[in-house]
Amino acid sequence: MTAPAARPHPLRFGAVVLAAGGSTRMGEPKQLLRLGGRTLLRRTVDTLLASPAWPVVVVLGAHIESIRPEVARLPVLIVENREWAEGLASSICTGVSVLEAFSLSLEAALLVLCDQPNLSPDAITRLIETHHRTGKSIVAASYGEYPGPPALFARSHFHELMALRGAGGARPLLTRHADLLATVDLPELAADLDTPADYRTFLANQPSTDRS
């Protein structure tokens, strides 16, 4: 009788919620936009808390005093990025630095934007399963011309993540390490909320019970 294949051990990974931006195109803090009775930030954090991710690090910057109360009572680590205006990479560096110091047993970091309202625990599970199946050290969502967030990075990439600069986020790593990258088709994550028109369109396409 053939022995059953060994199941991979659960991946020990933390999540970094990138929520420090100034929302200049939205004209108001998009972290506080309400969807289905919750703010966009709370919706994202609740999704991560329903996943195996631990810890969940929330990186705040612009409008921190008005945004912090949304997550202050949740079991998350809140960290301020005082350099948020320098671009998304500064928030990645801030969040991943917290994960690196949190525990040597963490094997990976999941980078998540706070403006993808269709993020789900199932999407996170598919990223993790793809990591196990392929053995790739980077797994990113695919929903457009290029792979993008959410994206999972093995600990071997932490030093590169913390060295990033500018507004491009982790995209340079996805390009540089194309041979180490696997993607997961997640077309629902193409929806992001950058402008008032994005927000209105998203609300118009939701069931009426989910719009408040």
5-27: pLDDT as tens digits: 555 688 999 999 999 999 989 98
Q: What are phi and psi of 172, to 5 degrees?
A: -60, -35
Query: Do residues 26 and 194 make contact, with C-beta atoms less than 8 angstroms apart?
Result: yes
Which architecture does CATH list for 13-203? Alpha-Beta Complex (3.90)
pLDDT at 125 over 70: yes
Average pLDDT over residues 129-155: 95
86-106 tens-digit pLDDT: 999 999 999 999 999 999 999
Structural domain spans, the chain: 13-203
Q: For residue 105, how many C-alpha atoms fall within 13 Å in the half-sphere facing its CB?
A: 6
pLDDT at 70 over 50: yes
pLDDT at 2 over 90: no
Q: Per-residue confidence at 209, pLDDT binned at 50, 70, 90?
A: very low
Q: Which residue has the tokens 């199941």?
A: 7
Peptide bond between residue 117 and the one before it cis (omega within 30 degrees of 0): no
Q: Per-residue confidence at 145, pLDDT binned at 50, 70, 90?
A: confident
- Bigger pLDDT: 134 vs 168: 134
Q: Convert 107-129 to b/e letters by CB count within 10 Å (16 or more is b).
A: bbbbbbbbbbbbbeeebbebbbe
CA distances from 166 to 10, 84, 88 (A): 33, 10, 7
Average pLDDT over residues 72-92: 96
Average pLDDT over residues 55-79: 97
| Separation CA 41–CA 114 (nearest Å) | 6
User: How many C-beta neighbours within 10 Å does residue 147 have?
Assistant: 21
Q: Choose the weakest-confidence range: 1-5, 11-15, 40-44, 62-66.
A: 1-5
Q: Convert 159-191 to b/e letters by CB count within 10 Å (16 or more is b).
A: eebbebeeeebbbebbeeeeebbbbbebeebeb
